Amino acid sequence: MKYAGMPMGMWALFAGSFQKQLTAVLGYDAATAKQITKTAKPKYKEILTKLPEFEKADRFQLNIIGCAMLGAFVLCMPQRPDTEALTVYYENAQMTPLMKWFCRKSGKSKFTAKDMAAMKATAALNAADRNPYSWNMDFYAYPDGSGYEGRFTKCGICTLMQELGLYDLTPALCHLDYTMSEAGGVTDFVRQYTLASGGPYCDCGYQKKRV
């Protein structure tokens, strides 16, 4: 994957937030946080260059870029955080004002015909059959019309975190699904399993909030 383009843009948008949370959540002083960020950037580029380009129709490129950024920061930290601390760190680093705005904007189109069609198209793509850093999912609309579920049988984040030697920390990324759903304002996120915790699949259920 080339660094120019979306990966470069994501670094520009989020690196400052990732650096800030090194101090706010993980307790590093400002100088150490700055040094971690400085060394994380080339590590981020290194991780990305080993990944294939994503297909144009693949909607999960941002997910793997976020994983690469988090992985780069963790690998450059003097001390490896535990999953609980990293969950808070990643959530705070990702949920910038811009990301919260994006979630609210996305929430306005949730459950529309266009949204449902996009989910079905993603399920039909089976991108992970050709790119191990992408995802395969099945789509299930709830029969009572209360929402839908994406059931993932292959997960690019799991693949990349395993390769980076950080697989035990993967649940820190999984938790962001709850946070982004809540920020959207229109869904309750429900989940029973994750691949990272040994489940048969990752279920991402979006139920319409009751007014």
Summarize pLDDT for 163-197 with one digit per residue, the tens: 999 999 999 999 999 999 999 999 999 999 999 99
The string over 3-34, giving b where at least 16 C-beta atoms fall within 10 Å of a residue's C-beta and e elsewhere, is eeeebeebbeebbebbbbbbeebbebeeeebe
pLDDT of residue 210: 80
> Counting beta carbons within 10 angstroms of the beta carbon of residue 163, is it exposed (0 to 12), middle (13 to 18) or buried (19 or more)?
middle
Q: Is the pTM of this model over 0.85?
A: yes
Sequence-distant (≥ 6) Cβ neighbours of residue 7 within 8 angstroms: 1, 44, 45, 48, 65, 68
> Across all residues in the chain, what is the average pLDDT?
96
Dump pLDDT digits (tens) for 126-174: 999 999 999 999 999 999 999 999 999 999 999 999 999 999 999 999 9
User: Tens of pLDDT along 31-88?
Assistant: 999 999 999 999 999 999 999 999 999 999 999 999 999 999 999 999 999 999 999 9
91, 171 in Cβ contact below 8 A?
no
Confidence of residue 211 (pLDDT cuts 50, 70, 90): low
pLDDT of residue 21: 98
Residue 19, pLDDT above cutoff 90: yes
Q: Which of 114, 108, 175, 119 is nearest to 142 (CA)?
A: 119
Query: In percent, how much of the chain has pLDDT > 90?
Result: 98
